[in-house]
Structures are given as C-alpha cells and as structure tokens.
Structure 1
Amino acid sequence: GISLTSSPAQTKAPGQSVRLSCQISGYALTDYGTAWIRQPPGKALEWIGIIWGSGSIDSGNSFKSRFTISRDTGRNELYLDINSLQTEDTAVYYCAKTDTADQFSVTN
C-alpha cells in the first residue's frame, strides 16, 4: 500500500526556521505529484504547494516567499522549509499524493 509519514510535531519561536519532512512508501516521487497542505487551528485547509513528478513546483501565492518545497528522490522524501516563522504558521501540516504525474495528463 501507499503511506505518507510526516515528521513529528515541532515547537519553534517566531523568526526561526523549520524543515518538515514526509517519508513516502508505495510510490515514487518521480511518478506522481505530491502536495503540502496545512490546517491552522479552527480554520480550513490551506494549499501550500505541490512538487510534480518532473520536479517542477507550483505554490500558492501566499506561500511563495517563506516556503520552499523540495525532495530527495533517492530517499523518496518530501520537504517543506519555512523561514521567518510567524505565529500564523501554527498548523497541522499534511503531505498528500495526487493522481497525476504532472500538471497535464493526456489520455489517448
């Protein structure tokens, strides 16, 4: 089966940086897009961004400056680096697999 296991909870002070990781098994990061999503306490889910199978990245407009998505295909791990942490960054962060390898899929 497929499993995505994110890193344990971390507590940081405002202004610090943090790296979140997501260990993936059951599929290769190069075969599907994988996204980062977060849910602040009492609020709706927020889409941070996605790294496609090709390695290209799409990010939500409000997450372009302080948030960096990357991956290690050898370890099959996904990363989210957040700089200059703010109290508003307090949230549960999720990684999620998409059904397509890239932005566009063509079916014959």
Structure 2
Amino acid sequence: MTFSTNMSPVALLLLLVVTGSCVKCEQLNQPASATVQPGQRLTISCQVSYDLGYGTHWIRQAAGKGLEWIGYTCRGCTPVYKDSLTNKFSFTLDDSSKTVTLNGQNLQPQDSAVYYCARESQ
C-alpha cells in the first residue's frame, strides 16, 4: 500500500480505520470496572502484549475533568509518580503474565475516576 505525501491527515486516519491495520499494534487489557469503599485499597491490573522493558503509564480521568497522569513504570527502571500521588499509588510488574498493576491505598471519593494504562511510545 502506498500513501501520497499530499494525503490529508483526515484521509489517512479514515484509511487506517477502514483497513483496520497498523504497522505495530499493542494490546492492553484491563477490567471494565472496579469499586472500592473509602479508605480501602484498589488493585487494577493491565495485561499487555509488549515487553515490560517499555514504560507503562497510568492515567485517570474524573467525571467532567481532564486527564491526570499518575505515573509510569517499566522493568529495570525506578517508578516515577506525580508528586501529589506518590503516597497514594504504587506499581507492580509480573513478567510471567505480562501484567502491570496499579495499587492504590487510602482512596477517597475524590479518587473516583476512569483509570487507564497506556504504553510508552518507542
């Protein structure tokens, strides 16, 4: 398949959507939902298709608000957290199952959000 250099970004996006293909696709699977009571711990696992040497970021979005970066981790690196969330969240990696887990503690109603895992770009 060839692409014209003057193809508009919208046309290219539509072409990718229609063909359903990409050069390098990765999968990240996480549960549809999880509920915890205030003060309880939260555990959300993200099973990935890529090598855990790549960074996995965690992001959340509270209702009606923008995205908030929580932090990232990878095999062999020191996890990095948003300063204000350092004592609230931690990450664990399991190479055998290719799983990156977000662990939250002492969660409060203001921590209600949609939580996403995302792979670092190459």
Query: Same fold judged by TM-score > 0.5?
Result: yes
How many Å apart are 1:54 and its aligned residue?
A: 2.1
Contact 2:57–2:72 (8 Å) recurs in 1: yes
Partner amino acid, structure 1, of 2:51: A
Q: Could you tell me which of 18, 40, 46 is aligned with 2:68?
A: 46
Tell me the TM-score normalized by structure 2. 0.76
Q: Percent identity?
A: 39
2:60 maps to 1:2: no
The one-letter amino acid of 1:28's match is D
- Paired position in structure 2 for 1:106: none
Aligned pair 1:21/2:45, yes or no?
yes
2:90–2:102 CA contact under 8 A, matched in 1: yes
Counterpart residue type for residue 41 of structure 2:
S
Give the aligned partner of residue 22 of structure 2: none
Secondary structure of the 1:29 match is: coil
**Which has the greater radius of gyration?**
2
Q: What is the aligned partner in structure 1 of residue 9 from structure 2?
A: none
Q: How far is the alpha carbon of 1:62 from its aligned partner?
A: 1.1
Paired letter, 1:29: L
Pairing 1:94-105 to 2, within 5 Å after superposition: 94-100=116-122
TM-score (norm 1): 0.85
1:78 aligns with 2:100: yes
Root-mean-square deviation (CA, aligned residues, Å) is: 1.2
Alignment of 1:34 with 2:56, yes or no, is yes
2:58 paired with 1:60:
no
Distance across 2 between alignment mates of 1:37 and 1:53:
19
Q: Distance in 1 between matches of 2:98 and 2:77?
A: 13
Which has a greater percent of strand?
A: 1
Q: 2:120, 2:75 → 1: CA distance?
A: 10
| Higher share of residues assigned helix | 2
